[in-house]
Structure 1
Amino acid sequence: MSATEFAELLRELKERSGLSYGMLAKRLHMSTSTLHRYCNGDAVPTDYAPVERLARLCKASPQELVELHRRWVLADAVRGRKGTTAEADAAAGVAGGEAVAETAVVDAVAEDAMALGPVVVAAGVRDERTRRTRRSLVLAGVGVVAAIGSVALALALTLPSGGSGEGDGVSAAGTPSVQGRGAGSTSSSSASASASPSLSASASASASASGSASPSGSATAGSSAAPGAGADDPVPLTVTTRPYAWVDPCSQHYLIERGPGQVAPPPVEQDAPAWVARHGAVSAGEQYLEVTVQGTGEETVVVDSLTVRTVGKGAPLAWNDYAMGYPGVGCGGGVPTRAFSVALDAERPALVPEAGHKNFPFKVSESDPEVYYVTADASAYDVRWYLELSWSSGARHGTVTIDDKGRPFRTSGENGRPDYEFPLGGSAWGPAGASPAP
């Protein structure tokens, strides 16, 4: 498998999306010329993350994502070894399975050893060049096989086994149970049979309930400290969340399991939380969060990171898609400071600062708060997720769980779903793009 075949699939996805190289490059935080080289087969990305993000922007299916990753692994394996046919054949053999890959690697070793000339054996010692060549090729072959295996395993774990659309790690009530392990250790999600509708976080050393919640969001905080550093002190910051903020009305869509005759007209942004709750709506394609962090005193608190935690993934909801904007009405909005995006379809979603924006850490105090804007997008899955904010202040440090009033946020892909819009001055929802009734 060469870089050419990898580039062919990239070009196919790009052309199908209808987006220009410039538009894609801006969203991917890379130069247009670099994207051109990837799509032309002149270069292979050293990291798969931008490749996956490009595929998602182009609305690639789960099967296409797996195939693209396979081609990237194989193209990456032969990078820098284009002049050695045997080694390229060894990498291509991985597509047939481990047995084929191992055979190809052995053949490549044999051919490379012959190219080096007669093997000199002196006092039972092999030529050092042959041993280094064999070891490098075997390690490369094993690494490629392991990467292919991990993709297959990830797909098996994330794709739904039934038609419920529920992902792993969700309790009987559709809500996860989350336990923080204290400072310096990671938190984990586990399935719970409890019907409790809230996420919880605790610290192993000491914890105190703090944090501030907006009417549509919540935060649960835990803190820990070094001995003698005031372990029982309250968490020195508050977090307020708006999970149903809008960049602009035209960009916001919701999936609802109701027909257009059962859905109220689109609300204004301030009324969105109540409208969403009334209809059981789920953010479609994209969810925009506004997270405000403020210190509780004069001391400076460092916001070290904001981590995405995935609770579960399932098939996109087969519901109707309702647009909040009115046809014919201009929409638009600038990108605010402290703006981040996250690809929820990724195996390990992570916040990425928008082009030109600073990344974590940030400092906050009572007089100097910070506001973070997070755009989370999903196309291939229905994703349940939450955020975990890590902070530190002197010898103390801890985490704050950010969710939707004790429940995980939920964002679902909407590709292929029936689209409806509400004409300005109209009285009912109608199919998107249809002419308004006279």
Structure 2
Amino acid sequence: MPKDAAVEEFARLVRAVKARDGRSYEALGRRLNVSASTLHRYCSGATVPEDFGVVDRLAVLCGADAEQRRALEESWTRADRARRPPAPEPEPAQVPEAEQVPEADPWTAPVPEPASGHARVPAPGTAAVPGREPGDGPGTAAAGAGGTRPGLPSGGRRRRWGRVGLFGGAAAVVAAVTLGVVLLPGKAREPAAPPPPPLTWTVASHVWANGCGHTYLAERTPPPPPEPADARRWATAAGAVHGGETLVRVSVQGRGASAVVLQGLHVRVVERGAPPAWSAYRMEDGCGGAVTPRRFEVDLDRPRPVARARDGYDASGQEGRTLPAVSFPYAVTAADPEELLVSARTARCDCSWFLELEWSAEGRSGTVRIGDEDGSPFRTSGAEGRPAYGYDSRGRAWITASESGQSG
């Protein structure tokens, strides 16, 4: 089956961006904290990334201009949409006829009589005329003893114009003028919304170690392992949760040219429970890579988890080199983003948690709460002692670690 045209066009643009730099897949992957094989799958069209952040960082690293980055993002959107199943259109809500209340006519609705002791006030420049209501137009006769206006059916109520403007009487106008305020019926003055934070971010919460290694917990036997880029959809369909570790990649950048200083990263656990008695399913065993990216490590089993910066390590050369840990504070702009990789682990907890990022810029400061792609908290559950399975690609079935000859 030929590849989808949108996916092939996106892969072509990614290859063109990579060709601008000339470095190998492995060298670029080290800078982007992804494996060389993952980057190669993007360029070949075998995989469309879950979010655009990693491709945008590749474009910036290879010197692409703003117009090329926009074209790349538009192509990614089309390719991502082509890979997703179409969502069903919601049916329009049907309103029962009994609930369809006709709107009242403001010109024929009854108006209460003024309270006793308050005389009607004629409109400025007019005098009270016997037999005429104040505010009635010239030549309009007052209602007879029956309370009807000529020309209307018997019993019809005429429109009274004794109200001034939008209020119930002259006393209300005088009070409004005295207080120096203007009141609008049915609308209360709302406080102005605070301006948005000067930074933006994207989140990828189904990141696999070295692009291949990860464990999920599932109550029932799930489908075969997906491609890493399709992990989120696979886990959602299978009802699976992260087992033992969640890797979260947060790409942060400013909204404009002005620098935004990132001051610190914190962890907020919002719910704790016992891990579910589900089986553990490993996406791939024996997976390794030459690069261990720098990251923040979080121990969710602690009463107050802390995000601790750790060095990375590059063992791809003849002599390995250390990748210094991220240290706060540091600045980001729209053209100079930063990537934060967070490894959150637990052995005893079914934990739901958020990240909180402190920032300051141009005399302002604040904290943004970062959760999963849909805004919900991240969820990580301990997997120790659970039955573990790996996928046998030849037999096309999940088998236990003892059946596969693997330990642990």
TM-score class normalised by the smaller sequence: 0.3 to 0.5
Name the TM-score, length of structure 1 as normaliser: 0.44
For the pair shown, the structure with the greater C-alpha radius of gyration is 2
